[in-house]
Amino acid sequence: MFADFSWSSFGLDETLIILFNLGNLLAVLAFVLRGPILLRVFAVVGTGMQALFYAFISTGPIMSGVFWKVLMASAAFGFMVVLLRERMGRQFASELRPLAKELRLLNPGQIEKLFRVGELRVAEAERCILSQGTQPDELFYLLEGKATVVKDGRPIDVQSGAFLGEIAFVSDGVATADVLIAPGSTYLAWRIGPLKALLAREDQIDIALRGLINHDLARKVSAQPVGAASAPDVVAG
């Protein structure tokens, strides 16, 4: 059956048909792959093979086919470059590195997006950043130093590595306590509007940040002795 088979007997059209079918197979596999980089590699190679078929078929090039396949390959390649750049390491400011480490579910590019909508601040003097009963327009994360949560006249110290104003942020409500930042403390402040706009666009950042907030809330509550205070009293806003 295969006695007369020879690769040399394959003409250009036969070779192009093989490339075309292999390209379609790779394109189909791209739809079922989970890895965002690998699926785009398959899409680029697959659509590139299809473009070769349309460009060199013996009946003459089918330019509309070439155009659309090249456009699809270019789009997949361009977004693949964006994803690769996001995954490349970033050099964050030393004050931000502990928080970046906590956001380990995100790639460096996503962490950079989250930091970009915030503002790094240093308290030159004691400052009240949250007032009990008022709705804040910022969410805070204490990077270095100390804050004091004052609930109905009762002060509770909060050390670095904690959110401030997280209850109001999650509930869209008012601050549950006054919060004072100690002089020399470093903290990150996000305006609520731009932050929520980012979270609405970026599901992974939204999940990671809210997960870290929930973890922080649980840690604050569990750190209090039994009967020492109710949950709203020990969280910072």
pLDDT band at 229, cuts 50/70/90? very low
Alpha-carbon distance of 225 to 45, in angstroms, equals 61
Q: Which of 165, 163, 139, 143 is nearest to 98 (CA)?
A: 143
Do 90 and 108 contact (CB within 8 A), yes or no? yes
pLDDT digits (tens, 9 = 90+) for 156-198: 888 889 999 999 999 989 998 999 999 999 999 999 999 999 9
Do 129 and 169 contact (CB within 8 A), yes or no? no
Determine if the pTM surpasses 0.75.
no
pLDDT at 101: 86
pLDDT at 87: 63
φ, ψ of residue 187 in degrees (nearest 5)? -150, 160
Do 188 and 235 contact (CB within 8 A), yes or no? no
Higher confidence at residue 156 or residue 140? 140
Sequence-ordered list of residues with C-beta below 8 angstroms from that of 91, at least 6 positions apart, any chain: none
Sequence-ordered list of residues with C-beta below 8 angstroms from that of 226, at least 6 positions apart, any chain: none
Alpha-carbon distance of 44 to 49, in angstroms, equals 9
Alpha-carbon distance of 36 to 33, in angstroms, equals 8
Domain ranges of the chain: 10-87, 97-234
Of the given ranges (8-12, 143-147, 214-218), which has the lowest mean pLDDT? 8-12
pLDDT digits (tens, 9 = 90+) for 91-135: 667 778 888 888 878 888 888 899 999 999 999 999 999 999 999
Does 2.60.120.10 match the CATH number of domain 97-234? Answer: yes
Residue 42: CB atoms within 10 Å: 21
